[in-house]
Amino acid sequence: METNNEWMNDPELQKIDPSKLDFLNKMFMQSTTINNGGNQAETQKKMMAFLLSLNKLSKDNNISFHPEEVELIFSVLKKYSTPDDIAKMQKISSFFRSR
């Protein structure tokens, strides 16, 4: 996904707390640096460590998302993403749903 935050201004997200959206934007900015450079195995290892740290990071910042918010955010992100990015989001989403 592009590193701009155009998706955050989507009207469908008006009901989501701005602090949650800011948290997500920071997360996406950090994740884009992980995807730049390195082979696929290294990138996957770094991304997994990053994703697992999100739970602690969200608790430290008192941020939690209701399932409806997660679905809405994913649907909005898809509008601004490439097919490759959508596939990555679905993979990440399935990881967290299986837990």
Tens-digit pLDDT profile for residues 51-71: 777 777 888 888 888 889 888
- Residue-wise pLDDT tens digits, 77-87: 888 888 887 88
Could you say which DSSP state residue 32 is in?
H
pTM of the full structure: 0.67
Q: Given CA atoms 36, 44, 48, 66 in this order, what sign does their dihedral have?
A: positive
Q: Count Cα neighbours of 62 within 13 Å in the Cβ-side half-sphere.
A: 2
With contact defined as beta carbons under 8 Å apart, do 74 and 96 qualify? no
